[in-house]
């Protein structure tokens, strides 16, 4: 499907979009469950409380600061912003929205829905690095990371991609297809979250005992596969809502194209799960539950970029590639690159999202779309990653990311909350894993 020109939303489209956006938090709930289940049992309560706190902090900070910079109110997508003129072309690089959501009720329907979409998106983006920092990231650090993302990087990216910024205008200014396309938030949510996860893991370092001085890395399996797999099912509902709502809002898809978007989302996730199932069955003799969950999620993430653009056959192919790459990359990151990422967020969200964005360019019908997607990917890797790293490096000087050695030894629940998630369980000490 080619992206359509923007038209005002009909009442039916508005009602549908609003209903879908009210289902989108199920994706956030799913990722929160996955983050918790892939951590250790002695940090489970802290992990889930952290997910809640991050959603709250990101919403407050986005309302206070981020929404103004994202620039969806009151002028709406394509509205005014701070514009630089380079080589005779306008480069809209920063939004200029109303302060503290002023005029929300009087804004056009599409702007109100766009804002709601961005509230969900910023919560999801801030949640992703929390999973990667599991078992060593302090609650205050998680909240600080969420605040930093919601106030600075996310609004910038959201403006560039969704609110008439320079990436979305690549088609108008440089004849590159329809400009950078990101219907479901693959770039603004998932790649941003995944790259933030990489920065967090680099700055906080690995969990104690993960990489012993001798031998291979220690396996620290997630404590609850049921949370993880149920989280995947919840995530499917949320993702369907997210991708379909995004297709209406950002790709301006007609209502008749929406069932196709939903089918593509399901097919991409299904293809990815089937591929990961087969790869882990081949490599380990039995399918691996947590890697299959990661594969499923990687498929959903890839679908965020391309579900509204590709055909069902192409979406299945996108899912298969994501599903094959996920278990191999998780293994590569841990064994070869010594990156301790308990939730697999770097592979699932960053790599899955980048692959989806690339696939959207490859399979799009419009000439120049692939180059537009490549420019978007270059922005994410070349500008967003160093920016996020610098931001987190400075933040770590103010709010130490990592808990002290004693906290890590007794577990985050006891250290930060004073009580465990499962008080009747016997908690293993680190020594038992060596």
Partner 1 sequence: MKYAGLLVMPAGFFLSVAALVLFPDPVSRTAFVVCGLAVECLGLVVAVRGHMLARGESRP
C-alpha dihedral over 339, 221, 129, 430, to 10 degrees? Answer: -80
Distance CA 212, CA 275 (A): 32
Give the range of 32-40, 117-125, 296-304, 337-345 binding partner 1 by CB under 8 A: 337-345
Site membership for partner 1, residue 399 (CB under 8 A): no
- DSSP single-letter state for residue 209: T
Per CB under 8 A, the list member of 18, 80, 362, 383 interacting with partner 1 is: 383
Q: Quick one: which of 382, 394, 404, 429 contacts partner 1 (CB under 8 A)?
A: 382
Q: How far is the CB of 210 from partner 1 (least distance, A)?
A: 9
379 binds partner 1 (CB under 8 A): yes
Contact segment (CB under 8 A) with partner 1 among 74-82, 231-239, 373-381, 415-423 equals 373-381
By CB under 8 A, residue 179 contacts partner 1: no
Tally DSSP H helices, then E strands, for the chain: 19, 2
SS3 string of 144-190? Answer: HHHHHHHHHHHHHHHHHHHCCCCCCCHHHHHCCCCCCCCCCCHHHHH
Q: Is 386 in the site for partner 1 (CB under 8 A)?
A: yes
Alpha carbon distance, N-terminus to C-terminus of the chain: 53
Could you give the CA distance from residue 324 to residue 277 in angstroms, rounded to a whole number? Answer: 9
Q: Which of 229, 362, 381, 399 binds partner 1 (CB under 8 A)?
A: 381
Taking CB under 8 A as the criterion, the residue among 5, 86, 216, 398 binding partner 1 is: 86
Window of 5-13, 182-190, 271-279, 331-339 that interacts with partner 1 by CB under 8 A: 331-339
Q: Which is nearer to partner 1, 14 or 211 (CB)?
A: 211
Site for partner 1 contains 89 (CB under 8 A): yes
Token representation of residue 71: 């620039």
- With 0-12 / 13-18 / 19 or more C-beta atoms within 10 angstroms meaning exposed / middle / buried, residue 99 is exposed
- Binding to partner 1 by residue 174, rule CB under 8 A? yes
Task: Single out the residue of 188, 219, 214, 243 nearest to residue 66, CA to CA.
Answer: 188
Q: Smallest distance from the beta carbon of 169 to partner 1, in angstroms?
A: 11
Among the listed residues 377, 391, 395, 421, the single contact to partner 1 using CB under 8 A: 377
Considering the complex, what minimum distance in angstroms separates the CB of residue 87 from partner 1?
4
DSSP state of 40: -
The angle at the Cα of 28, spanning 69 to 372, to the nearest 5 degrees, equals 50
Q: Hey, which residues between 353 and 372 contact partner 1 (CB under 8 A)? A: 368, 370-371
Instruction: Compute the distance between CA of residue 159 and CA of residue 181 in angstroms, rounded to an integer.
Output: 13
Which residues between 202 and 261 bind partner 1 (CB under 8 A)?
A: 202, 205-206, 208-209, 211-213
Where along the sequence are the contacts to partner 1 (CB under 8 A)?
86-87, 89, 170, 174, 176, 202, 205-206, 208-209, 211-213, 337-339, 368, 370-371, 374-375, 377-379, 381-383, 385-386, 389-390
């Amino acid at each position: 499907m080619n992206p359509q020109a923007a038209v005002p939303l009909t009442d039916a489209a508005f009602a549908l979009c609003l209903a879908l956006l009210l289902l989108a938090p199920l994706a956030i709930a799913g990722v929160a469950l996955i983050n918790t289940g892939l951590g250790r049992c002695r940090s489970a309560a802290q992990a889930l409380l952290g997910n809640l706190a991050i959603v709250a902090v990101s919403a407050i900070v986005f309302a206070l600061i981020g929404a103004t910079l994202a620039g969806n109110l009151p002028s709406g997508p394509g509205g005014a912003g701070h514009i630089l003129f380079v080589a005779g072309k306008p480069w809209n690089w920063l939004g200029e929205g109303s302060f503290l959501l002023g005029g929300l009720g009087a804004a056009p329907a599409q702007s109100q829905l766009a804002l709601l979409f961005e509230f969900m998106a910023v919560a999801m983006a801030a949640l992703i690095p929390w999973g990667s920092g599991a078992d060593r990231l302090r609650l205050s650090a998680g909240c600080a990371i969420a605040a930093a993302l919601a106030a600075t990087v996310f609004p910038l990216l959201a403006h560039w991609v969704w609110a008439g910024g320079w990436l979305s205008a690549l088609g108008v200014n440089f004849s590159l297809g329809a400009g950078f396309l990101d219907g479901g938030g693959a770039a603004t949510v998932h790649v941003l979250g995944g790259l933030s996860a990489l920065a967090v893991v680099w700055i906080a370092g690995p969990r104690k005992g993960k990489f012993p001085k001798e031998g291979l890395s220690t396996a620290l399996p997630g404590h609850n596969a049921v949370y993880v797999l149920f989280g995947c099912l919840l995530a499917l509902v949320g993702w369907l809502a997210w991708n379909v709502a995004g297709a209406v809002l950002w790709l301006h898809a007609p209502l008749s194209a929406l069932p196709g978007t939903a089918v593509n989302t399901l097919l991409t996730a299904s293809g990815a799960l089937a591929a990961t199932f087969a790869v882990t069955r081949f490599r380990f003799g039995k399918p691996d539950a947590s890697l299959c969950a990661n594969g499923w999620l990687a498929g959903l993430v890839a679908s965020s970029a391309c579900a509204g653009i590709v055909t069902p056959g192409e979406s299945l192919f996108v899912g298969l590639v994501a599903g094959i790459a996920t278990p191999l990359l998780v293994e590569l990151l841990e064994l070869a690159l010594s990156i301790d990422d308990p939730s697999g967020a770097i592979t699932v969200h960053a790599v899955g999202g980048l692959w989806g964005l690339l696939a959207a360019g490859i399979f799009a019908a419009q000439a120049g779309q692939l180059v537009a997607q490549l420019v978007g990917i270059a922005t994410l890797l070349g500008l967003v990653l160093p920016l996020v790293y610098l931001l987190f490096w400075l933040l770590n000087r103010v709010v130490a990311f990592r808990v002290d050695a004693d906290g890590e030894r007794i577990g985050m629940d006891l250290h930060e909350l004073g009580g465990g998630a499962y008080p009747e369980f016997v908690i293993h000490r680190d020594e038992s894993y060596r």
